[in-house]
Structure 1
Amino acid sequence: MLLLQRLLWILILFPWLDFLLRYIFPDSISGLWDELFLFAIIIALWIYKKNENRFVVVPNYVKIPFLLYFIFCVSSMVIHVVPLAVAIDAMRVIYQPILFGLLTMYLSDNKMLLQRFFHWMYISAGIIAFLGIIEFVFQIDTSRWNHPSEQFRAVSIFSNPNAVAAFYNMMLAMLIPRILMHKQKRWIYSGIAVILFIALLFTLSRGAWIAFCMMVLYVIWMCNKKWLLSIPIATLVLPFVLPKSIIQRIMVLFDPEYYQMSSEYGRIAFWKEALERMIDNPLFGVGVGMFGDSVPLRHQIPFATWVDNHYLKIGAEIGVFGLLAFVVFVFSLFWLPHRSAKQANNSFTKSLYIGLASVTIVIAVQNVTASIWEALTVGVFYYAIVGIIFGLKWQEYQSRKEKISK
C-alpha cells in the first residue's frame, strides 16, 4: 500500500519529471518513462487491490458511451485498414492517459491522503505558474515553444501555451470551490489561485480564457449565486488592469480581417476541412490517426493537418456516431460529479464534487479550439482527476453496504 502512495506522489510531480527527462534524454528514451510509470501503477494495483472491483460504481451512462466510442475507434481502423504503427500510436494517445485514473480511483477513498494529494498538487502547480510569470515578465525564451506570432506566450516547463493553460485551468477549477466553501488554508490557496490566474493570462490562450470564464460561472452558480453580481463589475474593471498584450489578444477576436485570414488558411479553414471529411465519411470517418493533429503529422500521413478542434477531429476520423458517443461520455463525466454535488451532505464533499465537475467544463470547452486531450500531461491529470470521482463513489458505496449489514 505504501508503494501505491509513493506512486501518487510521482503523479503530483508528473509535469516536472516529464520536463526533466525530455530535456536530458532523447525522445526515444524519455518517451518511454510514462509507459514505465503506468506499468508500475498497474502492477501495484494488481498486488494490493486485486480483490476490489471498483468498476461496479461506474454508472452505465458512463460505461456505455465509452464502450461505443472505443468500438467506433477500432471499427474505423479495421474498415480503413489503418497502418499498424499509426493505429497503435493513435490508440496510445487516446487511451493511455485514461489508465492513469486507476491510481486515483483506488486511492481517493482515504480523505486524509486525498487532502495531502491536492495540497501538494496545488503547491507544485503554483511553482510551475510562478515560473511562467517570470518567463513572461522578463521575456525569457526557453526554446520550448516557437513563437509564430509577434506576441510572446509563456509556457513554463510545458512545451505548448495551450497545454499549460489547460493545466492551470484544471488546478483553478479544483481550487476555487474550495476557497469559496472552506476557511481552512483559504489564504494560502487564494494566493496560489492568484498566481495560477496571472500565469493563465500570460499564456495568451483565448480558448483557455473562455473556458475559465464558463467554469467560474458554474462554480459561482453552485456555491453562492450572490457572487454573480460581481461579474459585471469585474467585466468593467478588467480592461483597465490587464496588460496591453492581453487586451490586444482579445481585440483580435473582433477584427474581421482575422476571420478572413483564418478562413483562408487557419483555424476556420481546418474546421471546414474536418467537416467535409465528416460529411463524406459519416459512419466511420477516415480512420483513427489518419487526419488531424499529432499522430498523423508524426507519421507524415498525406494531407494531415492541425484541426484545432478535438471534436471535429474525432468526427472526421471515426464518424458522426463515434463523435456523439465521445460527447456523451464527456458529458457523463461532468454530470456524475454535478449530480453528486447536489446530493452531498457536507461542504467538503460538495466543494470537491463541484471542482471535479468544473475540471470537465474547462477541458471540454478548451478542446473546441485545440486538441488539448492530446497533450500528455493534460490528459494524465484530467483522467487522474476523473478517477477521484469513482474513488469517492466507491467510498459511498462501501458506506451504504456497512449500513445495510448493520
Structure 2
Amino acid sequence: MILASLMLSWWQGSRLSRLQNFLGRAWQNSFLAHFLNARPFWIGSTFAFPARLGQLLPPSWRARWEEGAPLFPWLSGSRLLQWSEPRAYCLLIVLSAYPIIDYYIRYGQPVGSIAGGWKEVALLLGLALVAAKLTLRGKDAYRPNPIGFPLLVFFTLYIFLFLVRSPNLGIAFDGVRIYLEYALWFWVGFYLLENQRQVKLFSLSLLLCTTALACHGIWQYFNHVPIPPEWIDQAERSDILTRAFSLVKSPNILGSLLSLVLPLGVAGLLTAKHRYVHLGYLAATAALALALIFTFSRGAWFSAVLGLSILGFLAYPPLIWALIAAAIATPLAIPSVADRLLYLFSYSYYISSQRGGRIIRWQAALEKVSHHPLVGEGWGRFGGAVAARAIPGSFYVDNFYLKTAAEGGLIGLGTLVWLIIVSWRAAYQVTMRLQGEFRIWAAAYLGGLSAVLLHNCVENVFETPLMSTFFWLLLGVLLSFPFVVGEEAPHQPRV
C-alpha cells in the first residue's frame, strides 16, 4: 500500500491526471459505456425464475425454501453435510494448485486410470457442494445469476449442433465436451466462496501456486533446458536458446496462465497494508513478469498488457504509465525480446506463416466455414486437440474462435461470442459497483480473464483443461463479488 499511496499522491497532482479525468468524462458519454452499463433484457425474468420454479414444489418444500431451511428435514441431521457445507471453499483452494496436481498425477505416482478422470471427479464434487448449499440453506443460499440465461442458450445450441452435425458420435462428444464440461466450473466458483476472507485466501493461493511455476520456469530459462526445435521459428534470427514452460509443458499455455494471474499480483501489491506483505507481493509479481518474458510467447505478452491496462483504467490509472515505462524498458534491457517482437512484423515471418504457420491455418479454417457456414464440420473434426488425435492430417488452427467457427459454424461462433460479451459486461458492471481495495481486486480478475480471451485469438487456449477450468472458475468468483464482499465493502480513498 506504501507504493500505491506514493503513486497516487503523484498522480493526483499531475497533468496526466487531468487528462485522464477528461477522457473519463468522454468515456461516460460514449455509446460503448452506455452499452456496458445497460441492463440486459433477461435479468428480470432470470431473477424471478426461482420464484416461478418454487410454485411447482409441494407446499411443504416451498415453505422450507422460503424460510432458508433444508428442503428435506432429515438433511438437518446429516453430520457429513453439516461439516462439509461451510468448508466447501477448500475445494477452490485445492484447485488453485491445478497444474501441480495434474502434473504429478500424470507423470508421477499414481498413474493410469485416474490421470484423465480426476478433473471430472473434482467437478462433480464441486457441483455436489453447490447442491448441498442450496438444499441445506434454501433461498438464503441462492444467488441471482446475471448470465444464467446466456449460459442456458449456450448449452442448448451447442447440444443442438451436436445432435444435427455429428458424423462420428465419439469424436463429436469429445469435441463438444471441451465447451460444455468446463463451463460448469462457473457454478462452482459462483457459489462456494462465502466471505471476504475466503476470496482473499483463494486469490493468494492461486497467486502462490502460479508463482511457484513461474520460479520453475525462470530456473529452466537460466539452465537452458532443452526444448523441441519447432518451438522457435527457424527463420527467426534470435539468440533464444530455450523457453520457459514449467510443469504445464507449453510456453504458450504457461504464458496464458501467467497473464491471467499477473493482474492479481499487481492488485495485491497495490492493496497490501503491511511492509512485509507488500514485499511478498512485489517478489511474486516480479517472478510472474520475468517468467512471462521468458516464455517468449508474443500472444501472452500482448494479452498481459491488455489485462494490466484494464486493471489500470478501471481501478488505478497510474498503473497505465508504469506499464508504458515497462513496455519501453523491457526490449531495451532484454534484446531477445525486441528481436522477437520485430520479427513479428518482418517479411520473413509473413512468408513462414504463409508456408506452415498461422496464416495458412486460418485460411484453412475459413475454407471449412465456407463449406458448412451455419453448422460447421461437426464438433471435434477440425483445428484442435480432438481432431489431432482422431483424424489423420489434422493440425491446431491456433485460433480458438476460428476453430469454433469451423466446427460449429456461424451458429456456434455467434453463440460463443455473445456469451463472452454478456459475461464481460456483467463482470464490468460488478467491478464498477465496488469501491476501494475490492474494486482493485475485481478489476484484476477482469483484466486476467480479458487477457485469456485475447490470447485465444492466436492460440487454442480454451482447449487446455487447465485454462478453460480457471477461466470459468474465476469468472464465477468475480460475479459472486456482490454477494461475498458486498457493494458496501470497506471503503478506502477512491482511485
TM-score (norm 1): 0.89
2:183 equivalent to 1:92: no
Q: Which residue of 2 aligns with 1:46?
A: 131
Of 97, 111, 115, which aligns to 1:30? 115
Deviations 1:32-51 (A, max 9, x none): 11112222222333334435
What is residue 156 of structure 1 aligned with on the other side? 246
Counterpart for residue 187 of structure 1: 279
Q: What letter matches 1:15 in structure 2? A: P
Match status 1:373 vs 2:462: yes
Provide, for residues 239-277 of structure 1, a one-character-per-residue CA deviation record: whole Å limited to 9, x for no partner: 2212x4333322211211111121122111010111111
Aligned length: 391
Q: Does 1:387 align with 2:472?
A: no
Query: What's the counterpart of residue 79 of structure 1?
Result: 164
Give the corresponding residue for 2:52. none
Which of residues 73, 85, 91 in structure 2 aligns to 1:7? Answer: 91
Say yes or no: does 1:208 pair with 2:288: no
Instruction: Write the mapping of 1:90-129 to structure 2, written as runs, cut at 5 A.
Output: 90-129=175-214
**Counterpart amino acid of residue 217 in structure 1:** S
Note if 1:322 corresponds to 2:412. yes
Corresponding position of 2:101? 17
1:144-167 deviations in Å (ceiling 9; x for gaps): x63414542111111211111111
Task: Evaluate the alpha carbon distance shift between residue 390 and residue 82 of structure 1 in structure 2; reply closer, same or farther with a 3 A threshold.
Answer: farther
Deviations 1:29-76 (A, max 9, x none): 4111111222222233333443557675222xx334433333332233
By how many angstroms is 1:210 displaced?
A: 0.5
Q: Cα RMSD over matched residues? A: 2.4
Deviation at 1:28, TM superposition (A): 4.3
Residue 271 of structure 1 pairs with residue 357 of structure 2: no
What is residue 260 of structure 2 aligned with on the other side?
170
Whole-angstrom distance in 1 between the partners of 2:131 and 2:166 = 34
| Residue in 2 that maps onto 1:353 | 442
Q: What residue is the counterpart of 1:402 in the other structure?
A: none
Amino acid at match of 1:115: K
Cα separation, 2, equivalents of 1:232 and 1:42: 42
Q: 1:218 aligns with which of 310, 313, 316?
A: 310
Shift in alpha-carbon separation, 1:149–1:81, aligned structure 2, 3 A: closer
> 2:463 & 2:303 partners in 1: Cα distance?
17
Where structure 1 has 5 or more consecutive residues not aligned to the other structure, the ranges are: 400-406
Deviation by residue 1:344-400 (Cα, 9 ceiling, x = unmatched) = 1x312211221221122101100000010111111111111111123223347899x
Q: Distance in 2 between matches of 1:79 and 1:65?
A: 21
Deviates more, 1:91-100 or 1:273-282: 91-100
Q: For residues 32 and 146 of structure 1, what CA distance do their matches in structure 2 show? A: 28
2:89 partner amino acid: Q
- CA distance 1:69–1:272, change in 2 (3 Å): farther
SS at match of 2:230: coil
Query: In structure 1, what is the Cα distance between the partners aligned to 2:393 and 2:142?
Result: 40
Whether the 8 Å CA contact 2:134–2:142 is kept in 1: the answer is no
Query: In the alignment, which residue of structure 2 is the partner of 1:336?
Result: 426
Paired-residue identity, %: 23
The DSSP-based 3-state class of the residue aligned with 1:30 is coil
Q: How many angstroms does 1:335 deviate by?
A: 1.7
Residues 284-295 of structure 1: pairs in structure 2 closer than 5 A: 284-295=375-386
Distance 1:118 1:138 in 2: 30
Counterpart Cα distance in 2 of 1:75 and 1:106: 28
Check the 8 A contact 1:180/1:223 in 2, yes or no. Answer: no
Higher mean alpha-carbon deviation, 24-33 vs 315-324, is at: 24-33
The list of structure 1 runs, each at least 4 consecutive aligned residues, that deviate by more than 6 angstroms after superposition, is 396-399
Q: Partners in 2 of 1:66 and 1:47 — Cα distance?
A: 22
Amino acid at match of 2:443: I
Q: C-alpha displacement at 1:202, in angstroms?
A: 0.9
> Could you tell which deviates more after superposition, 73-82 or 360-369?
73-82
Q: For residues 61-99 of structure 1, what are the alpha-carbon distances to aligned partners after superposition, in whole Å with 9 as ceiling and x for unaligned?
A: x33443333333223322223322112212322222222
Question: Does the CA-based 8 Å contact 1:49-1:106 persist in structure 2?
Answer: no
Which stretch of structure 1 is more off in the superposition, 123-132 or 19-28? 19-28
The higher-RCO structure (CA 8 Å, 6+ apart) is: 1
Pair 1:238-2:333 in alignment:
no
Measured in 1, the distance between the counterparts of 2:253 and 2:214 equals: 13
User: Does the 8 Å CA contact 1:82/1:290 hold for their aligned counterparts?
Assistant: no
Residue of structure 1 in register with 2:221 after alignment: 136
Q: SS in structure 1 opposite 2:224?
A: coil
- Once the two structures are TM-superposed, the CA of residue 230 in structure 1 deviates from its matched residue by 4.0
The farther-off stretch of 3-12 and 352-361 is: 3-12
CA 157–58 in structure 1, closer or farther in 2 if over 3 Å, else same: same
Matched to 1:291, the amino acid is: F
